Amino acid sequence: MYTEQIVFAQLMELLPLHKFHECIDRYGGDYKVQKFSCLDQFLCMSFAQLTYRESLRDIESCLRAMTPRLYHMGIRGRISRSTLAYANETRDWRIYADFAQILIGMARPLYLNDDFSIQLEQAAYVFDSTTIDLCLSLFPWARFRKTKGAIKLHTLLNLRGSIPEFIHITTGIVPDVKILDLLIVEPGSFYVVDRGYLDFKRLYAIHQDGAFFVTRAKSNLAAKRRYSQPVDKSTGLRADQRIIFAGIRSVKDYPESLRRISYYDSVTDKHLVFLTNNFILPALTIASLYKARWRIELFFRWIKQHLRIKAKSFRAFYGTSENAVKTQIWIAVCVYVLIAILKKQLNTNQSLYTILQVLSISQFQKEPLYDLLSQQSGGLSKNNTAPKQLTLFN
């Protein structure tokens, strides 16, 4: 029930704080801490993400200006940039990584029945990574090139609702394909990857686990055709074949047959060749599954642009140590998933982008979240039927 709470407090009420304290106790986050707890740190960093604060000084100035309302935000510790910087440097980032997984677990069933424009009963995931450039002199631990630093955000995105199921942060020098070894494969599900993950030994491991993969073939793929299915070329399909590998190493890594689908995209004027271990789905559905990879690109763009994680700008981070960077990224993921949960709980058709934009300028307003977001639809809210203008006559 709405009890004159500010918007920030209403949003944070969605958090399972008992689970958050379990994460804190797991890594001793509040051990010998008296004035600025892990919860204070999380709330301050979440506020910074939601309101686009540029620096620790910016966070300090804004929150100190609202000192009378800090108690209602749930913040009990004294705000200072040195205290926040020390917390980001020393508090274990795994606290926030584990809490993000808890929030993901809350969001997953909310989006379980969402449609993603493909008629598919099984779960479908996209796995990819994005590179965040860093200044090597400020982030010496994040070595990527000889004179360049970077980190990679490896993400497994559920196509139903665009919820990240798995996130792993590495330095830029780590090859993308190695992170496939960390995935816990769900039997019967589909995993869509690009050509950067074309390692037949690892793809065969997915096949042996009872899951399906969809990827693109390289132009120099050595294979022999065993059988061809007829296709309707008016749909863009050019071939649907069963193949086996001709190369000695490829045969050793993947000893079974694969399905090769050729497709012409008239929009981009490109000829694409897909590989999959699924022989049941229509060829056009396989092509559509790979096309759905654009959703993870939107997720990466959303995270970088609309939360405080931007490539090619060290000022986008509130600390330079590995722990501080990972802490900020995981709290940003928590905020993303929290907004996704809010969207479902309010049953609003507003996009995540619109919700974040509205929240960014209304954190200290005392208005129910439903009313605040329903105003974007151009209609009256369910709890506020009073006219916006004073009436001259009754």
Report pLDDT digits (tens) over 142-185.
989 888 889 999 999 998 888 899 999 999 999 999 999 999 99
In-domain check, residue 382: no
Would residue 306 count as lying in a domain? no
Q: What percent of the chain has pLDDT over 70?
A: 92
* Confidence (pLDDT) at 160: 86
Residues 228, 125 within the same domain = yes
The pLDDT tens digits of the residues spanning 247-264 come to: 888 899 999 999 999 999
In tens, the pLDDT along 261-280 reads 999 988 889 999 999 999 99
Domain boundary among 269, 300, 331: 300
Residue 44 has pLDDT above 70, yes or no: yes
Nearest to 37 by CA among 48, 27, 49, 24: 24
Beta bridge partners of 258: 243
AA letter at 122: Q
My answer on whether 246 and 150 are in the same domain is yes
Regarding whether 197 and 52 lie in a shared domain, the answer is no
- DSSP conformation letters of 36-50: S-HHHHHHHHHHHHH
Angle, helix 294-306 to helix 322-345, in steps of 10 degrees: 110
- Same structural domain, 139 and 248: yes
Rounded-to-integer distance, Cα 172 and Cα 153, Å: 9
The domain boundary residue, chosen from 237, 268, 300: 300
Whether residue 157 is found in the same domain as residue 286:
yes
Domain presence at residue 218: yes
Domain end marker among 300, 334, 362: 300
Gap between the Cα atoms of 115 and 338, Å rounded: 20
Residue 163 lies in a domain: yes
Confidence of residue 309 (pLDDT cuts 50, 70, 90): low
Instruction: Please give the Cα distance from 22 to 231 (Å, whole number).
Output: 55
Tokens 């208005």 locate to 367
Same domain, 125 and 73: no
> Mind listing the pLDDT tens digit for each residue in 110-123?
988 787 778 788 88
The whole-angstrom separation of Cα 91 and Cα 41 is: 9
Q: Count other C-beta atoms under 10 Å from residue 22's C-beta.
A: 14
375 — pLDDT class (breaks 50, 70, 90):
confident
- Which residue segment(s) compose the domain that 179 sits in? 98-102+118-300
Q: In angstroms, what CA-CA distances link 329 with 246, 275, 307, 380? A: 44, 33, 9, 37
Rounded-to-integer distance, Cα 265 and Cα 157, Å: 24
Residue 98 contacts by C-beta under 8 Å, 6 or more apart in sequence?
A: 23, 26
Shared domain for 330 and 295, answered yes or no, is no
Half-sphere exposure of 33 (CA within 13 A, CB side): 22
* Residue 41 confidence (pLDDT): 93
Domain count, the chain: 2
d(CA 333, CA 339): 10
Strand-pair partners of 228: 241
131 and 65 in one domain? Answer: no
Q: Does residue 330 sit in the same domain as residue 275? A: no
Predicted pLDDT of residue 376: 62
Phi, psi dihedral angles at 217 (to 5 degrees): -85, 150
327 vs 353 pLDDT, higher one = 327
Specify if 274 maps to a domain.
yes
CATH value at residue 174? 3.90.350.10
pLDDT at 378: 52
Same domain, 137 and 281: yes
Angle, to 10 degrees, between the axis of helix 294-306 and the axis of helix 352-360?
0
The confidence score (pLDDT) of residue 194 equals: 93
Element (H, E) at 226: strand 223-229
Residues 84, 164 within the same domain: no
pLDDT, averaged across the chain: 87
Task: Confirm whether 17 is domain-assigned.
Answer: yes
Give the confidence band of 394 by pLDDT, cuts at 50, 70, 90: very low
Asked if residue 1 belongs to a domain, the reply is no
Q: What is the spatial distance between Cα 336 and Cα 164, in angstroms, rounded to a whole number?
A: 10
Phi, psi of 85 (to 5 degrees): -65, -40
Q: Report pTM.
A: 0.85
Residues 11 and 160 grouped into a single domain: no
Size of the chain in residues: 394
Least confident among 28-37, 91-100, 264-273, 369-378? 369-378
Would you say residue 392 lies in a domain?
A: no
CA distance 223 to 61: 63
